[in-house]
Amino acid sequence: MSSNKDTISKTITVALLLCIVCSVLVASSVILLKPVQMQNKTLNLKENILAAAGLLKPGAPKAQIESEFKKVTPRLVDLSTGEYVSADLVEKASAADYDQRKASKDPKFSDSLEGGIDIASIKRRAKYAKVYLVEKDGRLDRIILPVHGYGLWSTLYGFLALEGDGNTIAGLGFYEHAETPGLGGEVDNPRWKALWPGKKVYNLDHSNEPAISLIKGGVDTSRADAIYGVDALSGASLTSRGVTNLLHFWLGEHGFQSYLDRIRKGA
Ligand SMILES: Cc1cc2nc3c(=O)[nH]c(=O)nc-3n(C[C@H](O)[C@H](O)[C@H](O)COP(=O)(O)O)c2cc1C
């Protein structure tokens, strides 16, 4: 038997009220959770910087990440000269406040990459890069460089860590990408990441052009140039090519080449 209460207008009113209540709940949880999300993002970045440099084991507790990160000093580098610059230049109080990813979208703080120079397919590059330095016993021990570039499906964002000599790799890790799990996504595989430490980025007997590359079919360890090669990801040649390209871009003349030259000369 139908009740008098079951009118169309009442049904619509209840549906509308439900929609409003749900929208308010969703909107307030987004607003309330925003600071927590930002904190987690910052913590994740710190963890990835430390992990790339081999200074932290995966899954370390928050307190350990924060205490290890105190040893890391962010500095700003003018990519055209390779010199350190002050945070005033990017209108920030300190290098820590500078967001290189944001700057790379701002025409005031970035350059567009025309034609053949954009081998990493990133379109724009920030004029100033934020590098992270770690000293040990008064000497430069780690130089952690932000790198990014296009793979097959996505832009991969990560950190390349070098030893204090400015040439030996301490580690490479990506903290953001959308490559296929099991294929290009194997960039996150700890076994693949373990192939990087000890490799050299430049063949300095030859030139200061980037030499490090991913090798399809695997590195032939009997070759003298094996020190500049890392096994490509199997079944993921396109992501592998993207990783080689992004490393060549960031270690080349439009990236950190001048900066690393200066480091090696002790300037
Ligand atoms: C659904 C799907 C997802 C794929 N994802 C990737 C990927 O993330 N990275 C990649 O390099 N290749 C990916 N591939 C494979 C590429 O299309 C291409 O076949 C491969 O890069 C060639 O690598 P190989 O020469 O090592 O076999 C994917 C293929 C399919 C069908």
Could you report the per-residue pLDDT of 180-194, keeping only the tens digit for each? 999 999 999 999 999
The count of other CB atoms within 10 Å of the CB of residue 197 is: 14
Grade residue 70 by pLDDT with cuts at 50, 70 and 90.
very high
Residue 4's pLDDT is: 65
Residue 47 and residue 223 in contact, taking contact as beta carbons nearer than 8 Å: no
Mean pLDDT of the region 130-137: 97
Please indicate whether residue 236, judged by its CB atom, sits closer than 6 Å to ligand 1: yes
Residue 33's pLDDT is: 85
* Residue whose CB lies within 8 A of the most ligand 1 atoms, among 180, 192, 245, for a mutation test: 180
What is the pLDDT of the chain when averaged over all its residues?
Answer: 94
- In this model, does residue 156 exceed pLDDT 70? yes
Q: Where are the domains of the chain?
A: 71-264
Q: pLDDT of 201-240, one tens digit each?
A: 999 888 889 999 999 999 999 999 999 999 999 999 999 9
Grade residue 58 by pLDDT with cuts at 50, 70 and 90.
confident
- In this model, does residue 112 exceed pLDDT 90? yes
Please indicate whether residue 47, judged by its CB atom, sits closer than 6 Å to ligand 1: no
Q: Whose C-alpha lies nearest to ligand 1, atom 14?
A: 236
Give the residue among 166, 149, 145, 244 at the shortest CA–CA distance from 208.
166
Please indicate whether residue 168, judged by its CB atom, sits closer than 6 Å to ligand 1: no
* Predicted TM-score (pTM) of this structure: 0.89
